[in-house]
A and B are shown apart, each in its own frame.
Chain A
Amino acid sequence: MSRRRAAALSTLSTVVVLGALAAIFLAAPGSKQVRHTFFSPHAMWQSLIGNPKQGYYSVGEALWLNIRMFLAAEVLILILALVIAVIRQSTGPVLFPLRVLSTVYVDVFRGVPLILVVFALGFGVPALSLKVLSTQSAAVYGVAALVLSYSAYVSEVYRAGLNSVHQSQVAAARSLGLSQWQSLRHVILPQAIRTIIPPLLNDFISLQKDTALVGILGAIEANKAAELYSDTVFNYSSYTVAAILFLILTIPLARFTDHLIARDRERRLAGAVR
């Protein structure tokens, strides 16, 4: 099949599929109602810019909290997850208790739904009435919950990366007299990071969205702002705005991840034909 014919065919099938979906949507008995409730341009604009006097906040401004929570959590996750992964990979008998502890940690936080961790920290820790710990903002508890939950996942990503570096590289590094830590730092980690960047970014795309869960603690992030709008005006278009904003946030990261995967694939193919 010629390339032009293929392009024409794929364009045609796209138009047909999208057209069919649009037709179903528009012909549905409740279409008008749904369009008004979810896609009202007026309501979308109102919720985007906000009006605190009317009792709702700008969804656009609230997104800034999501971004800040995401960035803070991301850095902390990268560090905590690495520590856990290295402990779990360690071999020394002295570290045995830490190994057990980190295994239990990963099991627990991978198993418990994130929303429960958010609840537990956001409502549980303040109830303890501890001095500094119990007087933080909802966003802080939210970030802590995200860090605890995601570090368990990301530590496994790290571990897979560390395991992907062949043992012979460890042997070569140690044979030069490098210590275990130096081998990890200069030889193993730089090679592991290359393989883990795509899965890592994938987890971070999901982290960007999950910052919305912090809204249940009362923090005014994008999803919470959308909720406040719909509660006040009885129109769900604010959620559509929040969804679009999250897409604007996640799609570039998703495309960047694809780009890295493609580049890595090309590199490996280039290496294979040498």
Chain B
Amino acid sequence: MTGQLAGAGDGTAAPADPAEAVRIEGLRKSFGANLVLDGIDLSLAAHEVICLIGASGSGKSTLLRCVNLLEPIDAGRIWLSGHEITADDVNENLVRRHIGIVFQAFNLFPHMTVLRNVTLGPVKVLGSTRQAAEGEARELLRRFGLLDKESDFPDRLSGGQQQRVAIVRALAMHPQIMLLDEVTSALDPELVAEVLDVIRELAGSGMTMLIATHEMGFAKDIARRVCFLEGGQIVEDAPPAELFTDPKDERTRRFLRRIVDAGRL
């Protein structure tokens, strides 16, 4: 298959497997002289959950932002459900509506109520009627225990509630995949669980997810595969049982030792 792709210079060639949700090949990205992603290859099957682990600055967040086209990439190609989204003629607004992303700092719109935060995308981007969008938004808010918050502004909510609203806001767009960028790192410890529970529920419902996280126990628990990043490369890519108990690469071992020493695993 690699041979076929290598020959396809017209940007229309699709990867062979239609069940592949995301395919990343040779992704490189630098900020000025700082090389952040140094040749990432990664494939994510539909309904699969992959966790990205690694020290701060290893490139996890940048990788997620590149998949969502929030960062222009320097080299490489990305496919979403078989369609190349890094081709020149791709409308990035059309791509992004299919990809949900949740940020570390929630990034809710502070001037809108919870309900308006959730319905903005469906109404303005998908062209839903306000009524239909609100009905669906309430459904999602109920599912995640936030229905009584629909008229509140974000600054009245706890961090955990805000992050759950941010997840609902992304889900309201019916994304094909969810990208979660260290979504519990900005939360007080006692609020982490409520957000992780939501993500667990999503995984259980078959949502395809690429999750950058510092929560090793959670990664172990939820991911089908865990990728360890260092220096902008995927150093090791293995099922959690293998990666956490019997890491093959010395760099992975060193990272996990530090995590254990810090009492985080």
Interface residues of A (CB under 8 A from B): 168-169, 171-179, 182, 186-187, 190-191, 194, 271, 274
Which of B101, B105, B109 contacts A175, CB < 8 Å?
A: B101
Beyond the given A175-B96, A176-B121, could you list 13 further A-B residue pairs with CB under 8 A, ordered by the A residue number?
Answer: A171-B65, A172-B103, A172-B108, A175-B70, A175-B99, A176-B97, A176-B169, A177-B94, A177-B125, A178-B120, A178-B121, A187-B109, A274-B156
Q: Is the CB of B93 within 8 A of A179?
A: yes
Docked Cα-Cα span, A130 to B70, in Å, equals 50
Q: Which of B225-258 contact A (CB under 8 A)?
A: none
**Residue among A177, A182, A194 with max Cβ neighbours from chain B (10 Å):** A177
Shortest CB-to-CB span from B228 to chain A, Å, is 26
The 8 closest A-B pairs by CB, nearest first: A177-B97, A176-B121, A172-B107, A177-B125, A177-B96, A175-B101, A168-B107, A190-B111
- Write out the residue numbers on chain B whose beta carbons fall within 8 Å of the beta carbon of A173: 109
Given contacts A175-B70, A176-B97, A178-B125, A271 and B120 within 8 Å (CB-CB):
no
Say yes or no: A194 contacts B70, CB within 8 Å: no
How far is the CB of A197 from the nearest CB of chain B, in Å? 13
Which residues of chain A are within 8 angstroms of B96 by Cβ–Cβ distance?
174-177
**Complex Cα–Cα for A106 and B170 (A):** 40
- Set B103, B125, B155, B170: member contacting A274, Cβ < 8 A: B155
Are B124's CB and A174's CB within 8 A? no
Q: Cβ of B103 and Cβ of A171 under 8 Å apart?
A: yes
Chain A residues with CB under 8 Å of B62's CB are none
Within 8 A of A (CB), among B92-148: 93-94, 96-97, 99-101, 103, 105, 107-111, 120-121, 124-126
When distances are taken between beta carbons in the complex, the residues of chain A under 8 Å from B126 are 177
Which A residues are CB-close (under 8 A) to B101? 175
Minimum CB–CB distance from B103 to chain A (whole Å) comes to 7
- Residue from A176, A177, A186, A271 within 8 A of B155 (CB atoms): A271
Dominant secondary structure at the A interface: helix
Q: Known contacts being A171-B70, A177-B93, A177-B173, is A186 close to B107, with CB within 8 Å?
A: no
- Collect the chain B residues with CB atoms within 8 Å of residue A191's CB: 109-111
- Cβ–Cβ contact A168 & B68, under 8 A: no
Minimum C-beta distance from B120 to chain A (A): 6
Q: A175-B101, A186-B124 are in contact. Are A169 and B109 (CB under 8 A)?
A: yes
Across-interface contacts of B173 in A (CB, < 8 A)? 176-177
Which residues on B sit within 8 Å (CB–CB) of A169? 107, 109
- Which B residues between 25 and 70 are near A, CB-CB below 8 angstroms? 65, 68, 70
Nearest CB in chain A: distance from B88 CB, A: 15
B111 pairs with A178, CB closer than 8 A: no
Given contacts A171-B70, A172-B109, A190-B111, contact A178 B103 (CB under 8 A): no
- Once bound together, how far apart are the Cα atoms of A194 and B70, in whole Å? 27
| Residues of A with C-beta under 8 A to B108 | 172
In angstroms, Cα B126 to Cα A265, docked, is 37
Q: Identify the closest chain A residue to B70 (Cβ).
A: A171
Q: Report which of B65, B100, B109, B111 forms a contact with A194, defined as CB distance below 8 A.
A: B111
Point out the residues of chain B lying under 8 angstroms from A172, CB to CB.
103, 107-109
| Residues in B neighbouring A176, C-beta threshold 8 A | 96-97, 120-121, 125, 169-170, 173
11 contacts between A and B (CB under 8 A): A171-B103, A172-B103, A172-B109, A175-B68, A176-B97, A176-B120, A176-B121, A177-B93, A178-B93, A186-B124, A191-B111
Q: Considering the complex, give the chain A residue whose CB is closest to the CB of B157.
A: A274
Shortest CB-to-CB span from A264 to chain B, Å, is 13
- Whole-angstrom CA separation of A168 from B107 in the bound complex: 6
Residues on A with C-beta less than 8 A from B99 are: 175
A168 near B105: Cβ-Cβ < 8 Å? yes
Within the complex, the shortest CB–CB distance from A72 to chain B, in Å, comes to 30
CA distance A176 to B103 in the complex (A): 12
Q: How far is the CA of A271 from the CA of B155 in the complex (A)?
A: 7
Q: How far is the CB of A179 from chain B (nearest CB, A)?
A: 5
Which of B107, B108, B169 has the most C-beta atoms of chain A within 10 angstroms of its own C-beta?
A: B107
Q: B residues within 8 A CB of A271? A: 155
Q: How far is the CB of A188 from chain B (nearest CB, A)?
A: 10
Q: Which of A169, A176, A187, A274 has the most CB of B within 10 A?
A: A176
Contacts of B100 in A (CB 8 A): 175
Task: Report the separation of the CA atoms of residues A271 and B156 in the bound assembly, to the nearest whole angstrom.
Answer: 9
Contacts of B109 in A (CB 8 A): 169, 172-173, 187, 191
